[in-house]
Structure 1
Amino acid sequence: MTGIYRYFRNRGPTMAALLIAVAMIAVVPVSGAALPVAWNATFSPEENSKFDAVAGTADGGYIALGSVLAGSGEDLLLVKTDGRGSEVWTERFPGMAAASVAETADGGYIAAGYNATAEPEQNAYQGSSLLIRTDAAGKEEWRQVLQGEKVSAVRPTADGGYVIAGWLWDPPGSANDTTAIVTKTDGSGTPTWNRTFPGAAANAGIVTADGGYIIGGTKSPFAYDIGDAFLIRLDTAGNTLWEKNYAVPVIFDVEETDEGGFVHSGNFWYGLVDAKGDEVWLRNMDGLAGYAVTLRPAGGYMIAGTDIRRGEAFAFGTDGDGAIRWNTTIPDTRVYAAESTPGGYVLAGIRHLSPASGAAWLAGLEEAAEPAPTTPGFGAIAAGAALLLLFAGRKRRG
């Protein structure tokens, strides 16, 4: 009996070690796991509506810009929410489709919309864009018409003005369909200078950390041919610093990294370039339209958009080399814009209510800025405990 008792007694540490090892496996983060949707909200469900742009606000909430179908056209839908997507106020501006929105330094907002008419017999478009400046309550202060221009992005600048990226619709019969344009305005929206790039269309534009600008887009806006995606870097006066093409069809969004490079996303591809525009890496995401890219709080990047094959929203986070660390899909929705928040991300787009109707939609994903410190600590302690217990068991058996 003594021998049998000693046998079971010595197995105790071994079994404990195995249990600890199992616990260690359970707490190791799994690559590709989904982030849960922390909250979501719909707006104007009685009408066909969608959001095309979203930005964080200084009070921890969001400002979202979208469109509502109104007769044969569209109205701009400007919505202010709190940090959980609850509506604070809503304003509508007739006759425009949504393009871009941002908060201004004084707590107001700058919104951009456009209208366009097709000329099918000439395979051409014509139209104009509109800048609308509002106060903190969404009440219009002024507007500025940009004739012949389609705005894609508007951002406030340090001097109190704005920079606008988009394109001009070239007249029928021209050598090109579009001409990319960057316009700098004063605080009243009056243009002070512009720069044009024939044969291109800018879908994205941001102000860089040094006060310059970068735009991204495609040279084939109606076909998205491989190799036509571009980035153009400008200084504060609008002079071209560099212009690069990439072996992808289109860039929909671009974001500056903490290292001074630029991460971009588009149809089926996302990539990273350095401060001179030279490619660092490029990753394929077959079937996914990456309409938005932003920085992850934990490091790396977040790409969001729509799975064209399944017709549903997606968002995934990567490490600094572009490897996917988590992936989230949201059925019956599409994402057209996204932005980082202090605790994760806000997604903007449309929720499908039926095959023929949809509502403007926001959703929040939560992600910690750094991995929970208890996880690696527990793993290290557990590993040490397991080794000690196994060693103790072997020593007793000896």
Structure 2
Amino acid sequence: MKMKLVCIFCMLFMISAFANATNVQNHTNEDNQIYRNAPIKVGIISLNDGPEEEWNVTFGGDKYDIFFVVQQTSDGGFVALGGRDATSWDIGGDCWLVKVDENGNMQWNKTYGGQKTDNGHGILQTNDDGYIISAITESYGAGSSDAWLIKTDEYGNEQWNRTFGGKNYDLAEKSVLQTDDGGYLIVGSTYSYGAGMCDGWLIKTDEYGNEQWNKTYGTENNEHFWEVHETSDGGYIMIGYVQAERRDAWVVKTDIDGNKEWDKKFGPAYQGLSIEQCEDGGYICLAEVEDTVFGGYLNAWMVKMDEDGNEEWNKMFITPKGKDRFAVHHNIKLTQDNGYILAGVTNAVLPVYSVGDMWLTKIDGNGNILWEKIIGGLGYDTTYTVDLTSDGGFIISGMTKSFGTGGNFNAWLVKVSDYENQRPNKPITPEGHSSGIPREEYTFSSNAIEPDGEQVYYAWNWGDGNYSYWLGPYSSGETCEAIYSWKNKGDYNIRVKAKDVYGGESDWSEPHLISIKKSKTLNTPFQWLQNYLQSHPNLFPIIRQLLGL
């Protein structure tokens, strides 16, 4: 009899281990905490409705073509800038300027460049209705590559161009400004000048592109700027990255002459990508960070600063786990309602794998998501910039492998309308156990009302650094149940938030506290067996068979 009991114990352990592995194989993290919804109700989040895609046009041939930036012009059309006829990423090709009408029909296009790689990064319509272009050129200049400034008339005909740089690698990025004195300002990085390997670089010219001054910002390490904007006090704000012991997003504020007033690092982050000054005089920043919160690869990080660069709040976007999952916003713009529009690329918004899709997100002034829009196909599709249009919509530039011709990447423009969407109400405080033991599963429930009656999804924050992905869909007001177990003892605050079918997100619920305490010591193997069988009733038929009952 004793031998039979020993065999039963061994089999119980093996059966239990197999059952647990089978039940949670798609829902466990590295620490073996478990999260799942009960009953299982995971669906595809449809974000294809909501904001209307008014038109979608591609440009290019059988090589690599891309638009880095787009802007609406004074005649109601649009001008886009990038590169064409490259043989691969940033290898070969010319700087490319394309003018389209209000419906995306091409009116004219111009290329600028020589025998090597030349790409356009920044575009601005100037006071004389012409255009100023910031770019990088390997065909001209003094070194491996130079920052490049090109002035054209209203039809893209070149009027003059200037290069800036030394014998090493120098470039201008996606911002170019016309200053009050009629001159221009460009930003980027330089290996030829400054204090270290690569420094952030700001160049001021007169109206003919003649350099008036340039400033470098950095240390003996690597620094780079992506954007510069004029601030309300007449100075400038720049964003990029700094790399020392670690890599951080970097914001630098200067006066009108480029003298640094303050700088702030936030991170760790791969880089700061975009910045805008807000109505309150502060700044909203976008950064690209390793996803240590939700378990993906890369995530978009939004940081709100006051006018002196002090952080007021920050936000990351909920994504599914997986080292191949990414969700990165490349560009942010202030909208007319004092919210923000963000544009980037993701394969992590839907709970199904995609190579990469254009990702457009509208948020309010407090960082709450009002709606999201996903546009793409079977190939890799991305966007780099977004601009506001005079009709209240948005124009987005990027590249696509899903649409167009030639089998490689085509330059891409998409026009999207705005959309009025009410966010779901804050879910009720989660209900469920208030105490428990480690590794035991507990069920919690909550619900939220969607003001428009739309279906909703729920994400759970388990208070230990782990999150569920979006569970659902559920009808408005329908209860969502989720099951979770904690590995370690401690006090944990459980919260839940809701998302509607257009991507609008609620606030997090009020917390529900659960105290996980050390398991009670069992005095005898038979007490252990009794408790074990009570929590695993499906094992009774197996035991009866083993005992011959």
Q: TM-score, normalised by structure 1?
A: 0.76
1:66 to 70, 75, 82: 82
Q: Name the residue aligned to 1:191.
A: 211
Which AA in structure 2 matches 1:208? T
Specify the SS of the correspondent of 1:59: coil
Check if 1:346 corresponds to 2:400: no
The answer to whether residue 423 in structure 2 is matched with residue 366 in structure 1 is: no
For each residue in 1:113-135, what CA deviation from the matched residue of structure 2 results, as whole angstroms up to 9, or x when unmatched?
21359xxxxxxx94212111000
Q: Per the alignment, do residues 170 and 193 of structure 1 end up closer, same or farther by CA in structure 2, a change over 3 Å counting?
A: closer
**In the alignment, which residue of structure 2 is the partner of 1:272?**
304
User: RCO (CA 8 Å, sep 6+): is it higher in 1 or 2?
Assistant: 1
**Can you list the C-alpha shifts for 1:250-293, whole angstroms capped at 9, x where unaligned?**
11111122222211213121121111111121111352221110
Deviation at 1:242, TM superposition (A): 1.5
Any conservation in 2 of the 1:316–1:328 contact (CA below 8 Å)?
A: yes
Give 1:102 deviation, angstroms.
0.7
Tell me if 1:216 matches 2:239: yes
Q: Does structure 1 retain, via aligned residues, the 8 Å contact 2:52–2:418?
A: no
**Structure-2 separation of matches of 1:263 and 1:289:** 15
Q: Which residue of 2 aligns with 1:181?
A: 201
The percent of aligned pairs where both chains have the same amino acid is 29
Equivalences for residues 122-133 of structure 1 within 5 A: 126-133=144-151
Alignment of 1:195-274 (within 5 A): 195-198=215-218, 199-220=222-243, 225=246, 228-247=248-267, 248-267=269-288, 268-274=300-306
Q: What is the distance in 2 between the residues matched to 1:250 and 1:337?
A: 16
Structure 2 match to 1:139:
157
Partner of 1:3: none
| 8 Å contact kept, 1:127–1:150 | yes
| CA offsets 1:111-163 (integer angstroms, 9 cap, x no match) | 1221359xxxxxxx942121110000110000001124210121111110001
How many residues are aligned here? 331
Determine if contact 2:113/2:137 at 8 Å carries over to the other structure.
no
Q: Which residue of 2 aligns with 1:313?
A: 358
Paired residues of 1:270 and 1:290 also in contact (CA < 8 A): no
CA contact (8 A) 1:102 1:109 kept: yes
> What aligned pairs does 1:9-24 form with structure 2 within 5 A after superposition?
none
Q: Is the CA contact 2:249–2:270 (under 8 Å) kept in the aligned structure 1?
A: yes
Cα RMSD (Å):
2.8
Which residue is equivalent to 2:51?
35
Q: CA deviation at 1:337?
A: 1.2
- Ranges in structure 2 where 5+ consecutive residues have no aligned partner: 1-46, 289-299, 320-325, 349-354, 423-450, 452-549
Higher helix share: 1
- TM-score, structure 2 length as denominator? 0.56
**Deviations 1:192-239 (Å, cap 9, x if unpaired)?**
111111241001111223332111000139x9x55x111111111212
**Residue identity opposite 1:36 in structure 2:** E
Rounded Cα–Cα distance in structure 1 between residues aligned with 2:160 and 2:279: 35
Amino acid at match of 1:317: K
Give the aligned partner of residue 159 of structure 1: 181
Which structure would you say has the larger Rg? Answer: 2
Find the counterpart in structure 2 of residue 324 from structure 1: 369
Structure 2 equivalent of residue 79 of structure 1: 98
The answer to whether 1:302 aligns with 2:318 is no
Gaps of 5+ in 1: 1-30, 118-124, 373-378, 380-398
Partner Cα distance (2:60, 2:406) in 1:
17
* 1:351-385 deviation per Cα after TM superposition (whole angstroms, max 9, x unaligned): 214895021110111116x889xxxxxx9xxxxxx
CA distance in 1 between counterparts of 2:138 and 2:191 reads 9
CA distance in 1, matches of 2:224, 2:129: 31
SS of 2:145's equivalent?
strand
Q: In structure 2, the residue corresponding to 1:90 is in which secondary structure?
A: strand
In 2, distance between residues paired with 1:249 and 1:308? 19
Inter-partner Cα distance in structure 2 for 1:187 and 1:163:
10
Question: Quick check: 1:158–1:211 contact (8 Å CA) kept in 2?
Answer: no
